[in-house]
Chain A
């Protein structure tokens, strides 16, 4: 349901598909500069008041925060993929920025040129991006100011150079952050305030965070989390140039006789087919939904899916590999208060492969866990899952626990694929996305190294107990990348350096699918910087008349 004045636009210049991290930015940028836009969101348009501080509804049930349709997963192409919910996303207006942790750091200079910095890796397809950090630097700044990111410039000695400080001071340190500071200092590491898309001062018409603690995995009930639902979408609509249609699931991007995109066909709330034409189409699904829609958009000009003459659409699926180490302390942490992450450690962001014996790096994110339902039923070695001892264990440990999440590089591999499941359909009658994914052997070495560092940090901090079993191979994730990667060569990539499809010049794919490498963690700010940059390019090219 519309919550804001929502003008009717029948003949848009541009259709934007998806209203999440990237779609929100694109619709706002284009509408603000005078283009007529229709934004289509497959899910509902919920307002801030619909999001609740309710662990059961937000974390455990599907619909409000978690996408309610399954995907399928298999490890290799020899297996039949099983239905499950391994893709962590939401399809409400605002997309996954509704529930994300909101960590918003910039990638480092080396992330964009790994191949030329670190060399090739056997069994992986590591390449340089066609853009570098300095192409994006002004757009990172723009994203930090327009989205509303808090942080402390200069605090992280490993950060890439920046021209401007953050628009507001960092989030308040929690117990997990203090533990990180203390142990990192003893180890000679650097613990610094996590840049977060969470307001620490009243900003841009929104009130600052009250540290209520219902943060990651929840929709912010105070609009202090800088989701596109509360910053970009209202600004786009306010221009009068943008219409938002929710519950509009696009099933095909259509092409004309010249092989150019000329609009979409979507299914409305009642599953009626609606055709909508435009001069330009910008696809902002995410690293899973965008390649899926391209694969569903088959035509004589594109028998293998739209913009897929390279055959690379859906290939090179990447997540961020991660390992979680949990620890228990003697005193109360009260981690149910405040934002999720207040400190991060990047001392092992770009280790030398020759010295360490593995490729790629990662980050350590000390964070709390205030969940009660989740905590009470977690697996713990040597503690029964029921009975008086379990009860005592829950009572003794719940407010004493924290985690170090280590998030790492995932290598780009051609065999990791997102395609259409031949057997399972969703509620719209469309093929669900099928994930075929296995880790590269390097990721186990990387994971073992980072698990050991997390353990070291927590033991140095004086933890009473540290749990550090190896996590299983990921079947999905929240960080969805690589499936329409950018590059200069149309034979080996799907998009050019402005997120424009090599094969369809009035089609843009703007989201994590364009990533060439995975970075180490938390791709959202990079997605948003790319979205601001692609928007500038679209506007210029439309003015010049080269597209649309």
Chain B
């Protein structure tokens, strides 16, 4: 069970979600793991990535921070836009790590599960990530890779979390998706009044003795 899932079913699901005005995230539906924004477009363009790379990173990010019953995920927050753009700016030094790592990922994915990462179901994609996250490097990880899968995955996890929770100006946290999950008001707030949280509201202040200046 490693081949592409039924595309027509995906198309149907995505159209029905749009048609009903559903706010449910498309990527919540479960299978397949590949980005759902593919349905309506023939090709996707990226600033740093090839199409295959970009779609793979988008799928990876969605596994790292998935849409589920608790709310939207990495695809909804445009994490891929953040990573893709940032590789031209402040993450430029990481571009090579992505170029190499995405090749290793597909090699590993094909060896372990029979197909490149984006062609796997969500379930199998999660299996690939679990295997990569072990302390011991799996036997199928390419022998010429100069980074362990766990280390490489840490890079992608770090950037995915940046893409979830960054200031939206960098392309991620689209529409403050990540901040809304936390109820973090972000940059809208320019100040707060006490009490700030629950505990300072309910716990009494301490009474301190009056100040006695030293007069020696």
A interface residues (Cβ-Cβ under 8 A, vs B): 53-57, 60-61, 152-155, 161-165, 172-179, 181-182, 185, 191-192, 210-213, 329, 331-338, 370, 372-373, 376-377, 384-388, 390-392, 394-395, 398-399
Q: Can you list 25 A-B pairs, Cβ within 8 angstroms, ordered by A?
A: A56-B170, A57-B167, A61-B90, A153-B213, A154-B210, A162-B213, A173-B200, A174-B197, A177-B200, A182-B199, A211-B192, A211-B196, A213-B192, A333-B198, A334-B192, A337-B197, A338-B194, A372-B165, A372-B182, A373-B162, A386-B63, A386-B65, A387-B66, A388-B70, A395-B70
B96: chain A residues within 8 A (beta carbon): none
Complex CA gap A540/B175 in Å reads 60
- Say yes or no: B214 contacts A154, CB within 8 Å: no
B192: chain A residues within 8 A (beta carbon): 210-213, 334, 337-338
- Say yes or no: A335 contacts B165, CB within 8 Å: no
Q: Mark B181-195, 1 if CB is under 8 A from A, else 0.
A: 111100101111110
B147 contacts chain A at the CB level, 8 A cutoff: no
- Say yes or no: A179 contacts B203, CB within 8 Å: yes
Complex CA gap A337/B162 in Å reads 21
B64 contacts chain A at the CB level, 8 A cutoff: yes
B154 contacts chain A at the CB level, 8 A cutoff: yes
Complex CA gap A336/B64 in Å reads 25
- Say yes or no: A175 contacts B215, CB within 8 Å: no
Complex CA gap A153/B190 in Å reads 29
Complex CA gap A173/B208 in Å reads 14
CB distance from A530 to the nearest CB of B (A): 20
Complex CA gap A425/B215 in Å reads 54
B170: chain A residues within 8 A (beta carbon): 56
- Say yes or no: B199 contacts A333, CB within 8 Å: yes
Task: Say which residue of B63, B179, B189 sits within 8 Å of A387 (CB atoms).
Answer: B63
Q: Mark B73-91, 1 if CB is under 8 A from A, else 0.
A: 1000000000000000010
Number of A-B contacts (CB under 8 A): 160
Complex CA gap A152/B210 in Å reads 9
**CB-nearest residue of chain A to B90:** A61
Q: Mark B126-168, 1 if CB is under 8 A from A, else 0.
A: 1001000100000000000000000001100110111011110
B45 contacts chain A at the CB level, 8 A cutoff: no
B42 contacts chain A at the CB level, 8 A cutoff: no
A57: chain B residues within 8 A (beta carbon): 167
CB distance from B72 to the nearest CB of A (A): 10
Closest A-B pairs by Cβ, 9 of them: A210-B191, A175-B197, A154-B211, A331-B198, A161-B214, A372-B165, A334-B197, A178-B200, A155-B208
B interface residues (Cβ-Cβ under 8 A, vs A): 63-66, 68, 70-71, 73, 90, 126, 129, 133, 153-154, 157-158, 160-162, 164-167, 169-170, 178-179, 181-184, 187, 189-194, 196-200, 202-206, 208-216
- Say yes or no: B199 contacts A329, CB within 8 Å: yes
Complex CA gap A179/B203 in Å reads 8
CB distance from A51 to the nearest CB of B (A): 13
- Contacts A175-B200, A333-B197, A395-B181 given; does A185 touch B206 at CB 8 Å: yes
- Say yes or no: B208 contacts A154, CB within 8 Å: yes
B197: chain A residues within 8 A (beta carbon): 174-175, 331-335, 337
**CB-nearest residue of chain B to A182:** B203
B194: chain A residues within 8 A (beta carbon): 172-174, 211, 338
- Say yes or no: A153 contacts B179, CB within 8 Å: no
A56: chain B residues within 8 A (beta carbon): 162, 166-167, 170
- Contacts A161-B214, A210-B190, A211-B191 given; does A386 touch B182 at CB 8 Å: no
CB distance from A326 to the nearest CB of B (A): 16
A211: chain B residues within 8 A (beta carbon): 191-194, 196
- Contacts A213-B189, A377-B158 given; does A386 touch B133 at CB 8 Å: yes
Q: Count chain B CB atoms within 10 A of each CB in A55, A334, A390 and give the residue with the most.
A: A334
Complex CA gap A376/B179 in Å reads 11
Complex CA gap A212/B190 in Å reads 5
- Say yes or no: A391 contacts B66, CB within 8 Å: yes
Complex CA gap A388/B66 in Å reads 6
- Say yes or no: B68 contacts A388, CB within 8 Å: yes
Q: Count chain B CB atoms within 10 A of each CB in A165, A336, A392 and give the residue with the most.
A: A336
CB distance from B153 to the nearest CB of A (A): 8
- Contacts A56-B170, A334-B196, A387-B126 given; does A372 touch B184 at CB 8 Å: yes
Complex CA gap A163/B212 in Å reads 8
- 10 new A-B contacts at CB < 8 Å, known A175-B198, A333-B196: A55-B167, A60-B162, A173-B194, A178-B203, A332-B197, A338-B194, A376-B161, A385-B157, A388-B66, A391-B181
CB distance from A342 to the nearest CB of B (A): 9
B193: chain A residues within 8 A (beta carbon): 211
Task: Say which residue of A331, A335, A386 sits within 8 Å of B64 (CB atoms).
Answer: A386
Task: Say which residue of A181, A329, A377, A399 sits within 8 Å of B182 (CB atoms).
Answer: A399
Complex CA gap A172/B199 in Å reads 13
Q: Count chain B CB atoms within 10 A of each CB in A165, A173, A331, A390 and give the residue with the most.
A: A173
